[in-house]
């Protein structure tokens, strides 16, 4: 399996992060894998299909969603992380903004914290990550999941996200997390309109100039539905096309629901990019 520390140095292939939402209300797969047995089975299947990382979340961050209680989030994710850690060598990531959830997930076997708030929502998160030696994903988001799609406005979306990520990158390193354990995500769909998302995709190479690897998550999102006039279930082909474009424009990792198709698209696109 992929050694993440080595990959961070070489970036010799595109990493595929498979999405595993243990929630009743995530926008695409909510309710499909929200029992222990279904979640573990799904995680193992994603690894078989080519996932390098499993991104495990117990709280929906779809537009308009509200936070869940910490204990409920823990109850959803920790047993699944423990079971997957015992049964696969895949990298395990916890998708959370809560320091306590991150701490318990790391103790259960996670080695990546995927924080959509870029370590801003919980003042203890940076210390938890720094003290554990975990890797971290810093994502840009306008507002919170509950408010982010309420009239998002930018004067220059790419420049503003660049500025945000640069500030958060510096703050994260100042907190004791080295650059070689940080990935950046410009946050497609998190407080962005259709044209904002397209501008991000066209300019991934600019985010890459900040140094850390760039993770892109666009799988089946609503901007694809707006282009295609298609429901979530009908957006796979659009997702494949957009993921290929992301890699061609400089993405280092893709966060996807459909791992097999994501892996194939990434492998073709990286050959073209080279």
- Is residue 12 within 8 Å of residue 216, measured between CB atoms? no
Q: Token digits for 143?
A: 């507002």
Whole-angstrom Cα distance, residue 59 to residue 96?
7
Strands, E, within 41-111: which ranges?
53-57, 91-95
Token pair of 127, please?
């210390």
CA atoms within 13 A on the CB side of 274: 11
Angle, vertex CA 40, rays to CA 37 and CA 46, nearest 5: 135
Judge whether 35 and 68 are in contact, CB under 8 Å: no
On whether the CB atoms of residues 94 and 119 are closer than 8 A, the answer is no
Of the residues 42, 221, 235, 263, only one is catalytic, namely: 221
Q: Which one of the listed residues 62, 181, 255, 263 is annotated catalytic? A: 255
Q: Does residue 179 have an active-site annotation?
A: no
Q: Which stretches does DSSP call E strand in the chain?
A: 15-21, 53-57, 91-95, 112-115, 135-139, 182-185, 215-217, 253-256
263: annotated active-site residue: no
DSSP, res 57: E
- Give the residue from 69, 65, 220 showing the smallest Cα distance to 147: 65
List the catalytic residues: 221, 255
């Amino acid at each position: 399996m992929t050694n993440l520390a080595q990959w961070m140095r070489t970036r010799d292939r595109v990493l595929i992060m498979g999405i595993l939402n243990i929630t009743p209300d995530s926008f695409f797969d909510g309710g499909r894998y929200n029992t222990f047995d279904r979640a573990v089975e799904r995680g193992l299947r994603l690894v078989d299909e080519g996932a390098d990382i499993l991104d495990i979340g117990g709280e929906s961050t779809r537009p308009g969603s509200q936070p869940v209680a910490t204990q409920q989030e823990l109850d959803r994710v920790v047993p699944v992380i423990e079971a997957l850690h015992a049964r696969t060598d895949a990298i395990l990531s916890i998708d959370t903004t809560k320091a306590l959830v991150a701490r318990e997930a790391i103790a259960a076997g996670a080695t990546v914290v995927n924080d959509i708030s870029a370590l801003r929502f919980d003042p203890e998160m940076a210390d938890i990550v720094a003290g554990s030696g975990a890797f971290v994903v810093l994502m840009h988001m306008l507002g919170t999941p509950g408010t982010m799609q309420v009239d998002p406005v930018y004067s220059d979306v790419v420049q503003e996200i660049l500025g945000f990520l640069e500030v958060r990158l510096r703050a994260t390193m100042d907190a004791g997390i080295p650059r070689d354990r940080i990935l950046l995500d410009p946050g497609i769909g998190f407080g962005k309109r259709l044209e904002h998302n397209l501008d991000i995709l066209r300019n991934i190479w600019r985010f890459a100039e900040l140094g850390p690897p760039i993770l892109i998550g666009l799988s089946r999102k609503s901007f694809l539905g707006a282009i295609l006039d298609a429901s979530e279930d009908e957006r796979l082909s659009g997702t494949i096309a957009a993921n290929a474009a992301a890699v061609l424009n400089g993405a280092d990792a893709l966060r996807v629901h459909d791992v097999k198709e994501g892996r194939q698209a990434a492998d073709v696109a990286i050959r073209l990019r080279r």
